[in-house]
Structure 1
Amino acid sequence: MRFLFAALTLALAAGSCSREPRTELFNGRDLAGWVCVTDPEGVGDARDAFSVQNGNIRIAGSPFGYMRTEETYDDYRLHVEWRWIGEATNSGIFQRVQAGDRLWPEAVECQLQAGRAGDLLGLGGAKIAGAESNGRVFIKPRSGGECERPAGEWNCAEIVCVGDHIAVCVNGVLQNECTGSVRSGYIALQSEGGPVEFRNIWLTRLRRGI
């Protein structure tokens, strides 16, 4: 398993493609296939936070919450592109999101916060190896250094999940790896901070043992 994951991580950093077909998670028109979750005590509703504009997902940043896939996934390579609208602020891509639609779900977050893209966070009690608690969540800082693009320009995240292993590459730079305890779950995009857009969201399913 560790040999397989190391090979997948190298493929991730090199940008090589799998022969498996893509599963498109966003159709460019609407939010079909997604479930929106927002703070019940926040101002506004999900329609204020999540929309599609000019073929991109637009997340307002307020009210706080996330949009998750209707389906759960186990082993995959995920591709997501994002850019800030105006000031670069905060958002995230959640892996292994567990059922319950809590405001802070049990999940592993790939941090997109400006200046910290590639950090890994254990949310809702999720524990990841090598992370330290800040009193609220567990954080494993990125190790690849600065690679983010200025506000208004598109960034790319590639995330590989195999078993309990997760690896994150941002704009072609391998930023982080971790192991956890959960091997499947939903995928989610976060509303937190300010406006952000997402596009070209797809995954390639991976088969262990190949």
Structure 2
Amino acid sequence: MLRPFFSIVVAVVLAGAAWGQNDPITPKKKMQLFNGQDLSGWQMCLPGSDVDPGTVWRVADGVISCSGTPFGYIRTRNAYTNYRLHVEWRWSGKPGNSGVLLHISGPDRVWPKCIEGQLMSGNAGDFYSIGGTTMKERPEGGRHIPKKKESSEKPVGDWNSYDITCASDTITLVVNGVEQNRATATSVSAGMIGLQSEGAPIQFRNVYLEPLR
């Protein structure tokens, strides 16, 4: 995910550059982030003013489909903290790169300040520190924290599950029931949640939050 940074134009309606406009929400019950019908509650963030958002992100049959180009992301309009996030994904074409962006804060850009739960094919469960975020496990001078076990991803075209627990300054990544990684002493513990467009067609469904157990 080591990519250059680009200036960004927020598609549709600019919802604000920083999550700090509203206090982060701590889920008290299950919260659907994706309603299965449209991208209500999400903000599209794409580079350039000549990009048609409908060619990058669309919703049909309860699934979010992303073309993968250009690079960018969608993010929740609200910020969240202390939750369990469930996301399902699959590659709808040749597998490639994507990710789940956690604790997004600051201005929208490619890429924003956050911690990424990697979805690159074969590497789901890796962490990336982006925009100066840190964690105890981050190597000196590096941003990549590899997963701890062999890949637990399913064959290309099958649906996978990501269960991500964000509890205070600890983030745990579970891929298809296998705990792949854990970050501790993270420098961020609240923010918006994003899904990446990063070069390959990918689909998402069943995106929701649950309270910590």
TM exceeding 0.5: yes
Equivalent position of 2:31 in the other structure: 23
Counterpart-to-counterpart distance in 1, 2:120 and 2:47: 20
Q: Which residue of 1 aligns with 2:190?
A: 184
| Cα deviation, residue 155, structure 1 | 0.2
- Alignment-derived partner of residue 117 in structure 1: 124
Q: How far off is 1:193 after superposition?
A: 1.5
Give the match for residue 99 of structure 1.
106
TM-score under structure 2 length normalisation: 0.82
Q: What residue ranges of structure 1 are gaps of 5+ in the alignment? A: 1-19
Distance 1:34 1:76 in 2: 18
CA distance in 2, matches of 1:144, 1:57: 29
Aligned to 1:153: 158
Amino acid at match of 1:54: D
Partner AA of 2:36 in structure 1: G
Quote the RMSD (CA, aligned, Å). 1.8
Shift of residue 44, structure 1, vs aligned partner: 2.7
Asked if the contact 1:45/1:63 (under 8 Å) is kept, the reply is no
Structure 1 residue 54: deviation in Å? 2.1
Q: Which residue of 2 aligns with 1:79?
A: 86
Residue segments in structure 2 that go unaligned for 5+ positions in a row: 1-27
Residues in 2 aligned to 1:67 and 1:45: alpha-carbon distance in whole angstroms: 14
What secondary structure, in the 3-state scheme, does the structure 1 residue paired with 2:190 have?
coil
SS of the equivalent of 1:132 reads coil
Deviates more, 1:137-146 or 1:64-73: 137-146
- So what's the TM-score if we normalise by structure 1? 0.84
Q: Tell me the equivalent position of 1:194.
A: 200
* Correspondence 1:44 to 2:57: no
Who is 2:148 aligned against?
143
What one-letter code is carried by the residue in structure 1 that aligns with 2:202? V
| Runs of at least 4 residues off by over 2 Å | 43-47
